[in-house]
Chains A and B, each alone.
Chain A
Amino acid sequence: MAGPNGAKRKELRVIGKPHRKVDADAKVTGQTKYADDLFFPRMLHTKILRSTIPHGLILKIDTSRAESYPGVKVVLLGKDLPIPYGSRHLQGPHDGRPGGRHRSGR
């Protein structure tokens, strides 16, 4: 094949060649570990309780029944976290603190 200056193009070893992905074999054998595939000793599981009311105003949250449930180690609320979270926390808290708004359902 002739290049722009008429010279014969050198055969390249990498560019323009198909390349097998480094993780392809792991993926086709089921060995790739996704987040759901990780198991650790004494691993705990979380369950997120989301608002059933979009933009609902949180007046109070009673966690006593959840805390007394067998096997429950901890119940966390927005007030237990040092930093507000959520995609728009700069517009005000909506992270499960009383007075905040919960935006689930968006």
Chain B
Amino acid sequence: MKPTRKKSQDKLAKAHISLRVNGEPVEVAFAPHKTLLEVLREDLALTGTKHGCELGECGCCAVLLDGRPVLSCLALGVAVEGHEVTTVEGMADGATLHPLQEAFAELGAAQCGYCTPGLLLTAKVLLEETPLPSREKIKEALAGNICRCTGYIKIFEAVELAAARMAGKPTEPSNESLYGRP
């Protein structure tokens, strides 16, 4: 027997919103139940934002909403009408990487790379608010971003290196972070 379905389920009206994504004005239509994560990945083809746990536990899907980190898997697409969204694709300035991206690449803080976009964006907000954070402060800020590869040490060191460079401090990574010994 063919299952009976309500007609409204087959032809659900699409939501149509305008917002700014990575500085560009964007208009997008999508099924209204979609999360911001799904809208970014499936309707705007910005797959840099990663689909991890879908429960708000892993931080892979973190994006910036009006400059604040949010978990895009827990935000509805329709809720961002008129807002500014920043994804990892919007971090670099043309071909010039953001200092955080540069430091992550240089120190091997991106291993499999799946958690990296969320970490970069969360760390970006941290450095905007606290230009030279302590190791403890970095740990606290990145506590919502789970990484299963690196053991976090390289990530913390990369954030510290980027913070130092952005503050105009000595720019060489420490011997310890490069060679594992002082």
Interface residues of chain A, those whose CB is within 8 Å of chain B, are 16, 18, 20-21, 23-34, 36-37, 39, 65, 68-70
Contact = CB atoms under 8 A, between A and B. Distances in A.
Contacts, number: 72
A29 B95 CA distance: 10
B166 interface: no
B113 A29 contact: no
B51 A36 contact: yes
B3 interface: yes
Contacts of B18: none
B91 A29 contact: yes
Contacts of B47: 30, 33, 36-37
B87 interface: yes
B3 A69 contact: yes
B113 A32 contact: yes
B51 A28 contact: no
Contacts of A29: 48, 88-89, 91-92, 97, 101
Interface residues of B, number: 37
B10 A20 contact: no
7 contacts: A18-B179, A21-B105, A25-B101, A25-B105, A27-B110, A28-B105, A30-B89
A65 B105 contact: no
Q: Is the interface of A mostly helix, strand, loop or mixed?
A: loop
Interface stretch (B24-32, B114-122, B133-141): B114-122
B156 interface: no
Given A28-B97, A28-B105, A65 B48 contact: no
B148 interface: no
B3 A31 contact: no
A79 B146 CA distance: 40
Closest 4 CB pairs of A and B: A30-B48, A27-B113, A24-B105, A30-B88
B5 interface: yes
Contacts of A34: 50, 114
A26 to B, nearest CB: 8
Given A33-B47, A36-B51, A25 B114 contact: no
